[in-house]
A = this chain, B = another copy of it.
Amino acid sequence: MSASKLKRGRVLALSGGIGGAKLALGLAHVMRPELLTVAANTADDFVHLGLAISPDIDTLMYTLGGLANPATGWGRKDETWTFMRALEQLGGETWFKLGDGDLAVHVERTRRLAAGDSLTAITADLTRKLGMGVRILPMSDDKVRTRLDTDEGTLDFQDYFVRRQCRPAVRGITFVGAETARPQRELMAALAEPDLRAVIICPSNPLISIEPILAVPGVRAALRDCVAPVVAVSPIIGGRAVKGPTAKMLGELGVGVSAASVARRYADLLDAYIVEPEDAADVARLGLDMAVHTARTIMSSLADRADLAQVVLDVADRLSTGCPTDRSS
């Protein structure tokens, strides 16, 4: 019986959108989904066409609910685009693609937020309606927004990310509202659970997906203090990001485009760090106080996602039970 099967506690994953959702889906396949909680970045959230849009929550919800579009990673499968065509005819803004089925989530969320419901309660209801066992928690019910200082001026996140397709060079990142945001109560409670099995930092963009979560007051300290092992998967492989602007942003901000540079940003939090074999030596050279473990971290298939999830849980469980975790396992 593997160590992972001995453990029955809750697993908490911190995640942004597409990349993080892949690992979250893998986790849901190798453990009881109802013991998995995913804390989602909400600093990408924005109001567009009057609709409250939470891109990372939605990507997680669609991925974990089996509704995701496998071709894009975002949006829904079997989607239609009649709304966007009609909106274009009316001269509306069409730079952010909203599928017809996807709209139902945004309309329902917007309606309930206006009625005074919390994003946490709304997300819980939506995921329950979709029959999901996994719990998705917004990092906070208060508004935190990523703002980018770029060579084209200060930009809201989606303006940078979608409208300008990450073309501007990033000079700085601010999480507006983070200082005063109240931490997600259920997230803090999960971190304080004595039988918490593991905290997993998904291979999301550290700068704009994970660090907004860590910027909510109390979260970083609670991660440092929690009894469960904290394990991250590197979003960088051999100096390249698997997806998105992670490498470009790390480079522009002078952080360094490597698994090691990401490790440094998480150094106070991690008990273990999972990287591709080619990056292990580079990370080990830093001498950080964390176990470094190697695995194949590219997740092309569902089997890849489940395999990596199993590695992550095994690493965490070995840390919990005092068993050695090393690069070769």
- On chain B, the residues within 8 Å of A90 by CB distance are 104-105, 108, 126, 129-130
Q: Could you mark each residue 72-94 of chain A with 1 if its beta carbon is under 8 Å from any beta carbon of chain B, else 0?
A: 00001011101111110111100
- A86 to chain B minimum Cβ distance, whole angstroms, is 4
Q: Considering the complex, which residues of chain A in the window 136-164 have a beta carbon less than 8 Å from any beta carbon of chain B? A: none
Does A289 reach chain B (CB closer than 8 Å)?
Answer: no
Partner of A103, one of B83, B114, B130: B83
In the complex, the answer to whether A100 meets B125 with C-beta atoms within 8 Å is no
- On chain B, the residues within 8 Å of A82 by CB distance are 78-80, 82, 99-101
**Alpha-carbon distance A248/B85, docked complex (angstroms):** 39
With A49-B108, A50-B114, A108-B49 known to touch, is A129 a contact of B89 (CB < 8 Å)? yes
- A235 to chain B minimum Cβ distance, whole angstroms, is 31
- A116 to chain B minimum Cβ distance, whole angstroms, is 13
CB closest residue in chain B, given A65: B89
- A113 to chain B minimum Cβ distance, whole angstroms, is 9
**Alpha-carbon distance A123/B268, docked complex (angstroms):** 57
- On chain B, the residues within 8 Å of A51 by CB distance are 107
The DSSP consensus for interface residues of chain A is helix
Q: How many copies does the complex hold?
A: 2
**Alpha-carbon distance A100/B303, docked complex (angstroms):** 36
In the complex, the answer to whether B129 meets A100 with C-beta atoms within 8 Å is no
Does A111 reach chain B (CB closer than 8 Å)?
Answer: yes
In the complex, the answer to whether B89 meets A130 with C-beta atoms within 8 Å is yes
- A126 to chain B minimum Cβ distance, whole angstroms, is 6
Does A110 reach chain B (CB closer than 8 Å)?
Answer: yes
In the complex, the answer to whether B108 meets A83 with C-beta atoms within 8 Å is no
CB closest residue in chain B, given A102: B86
Partner of A92, one of B49, B100, B108: B108
- A68 to chain B minimum Cβ distance, whole angstroms, is 14
Most buried by B among A78, A100, A125, A129: A100
- A253 to chain B minimum Cβ distance, whole angstroms, is 34
**Alpha-carbon distance A290/B96, docked complex (angstroms):** 57
**Alpha-carbon distance A51/B49, docked complex (angstroms):** 11
- On chain B, the residues within 8 Å of A111 by CB distance are 49-50
- A106 to chain B minimum Cβ distance, whole angstroms, is 9
- On chain B, the residues within 8 Å of A129 by CB distance are 89-91
- On chain B, the residues within 8 Å of A102 by CB distance are 86
- On chain B, the residues within 8 Å of A91 by CB distance are 125, 129
- On chain B, the residues within 8 Å of A125 by CB distance are 91
- A48 to chain B minimum Cβ distance, whole angstroms, is 9
**Nearest 9 pairs of A and B residues by beta carbon:** A86-B104, A82-B100, A86-B101, A100-B100, A87-B104, A50-B111, A80-B82, A82-B101, A80-B80
Can you spell out 12 A-B residue pairs with CB atoms less than 8 angstroms apart? A49-B107, A50-B107, A51-B107, A78-B82, A79-B82, A87-B104, A87-B108, A89-B130, A90-B108, A91-B129, A92-B107, A92-B108
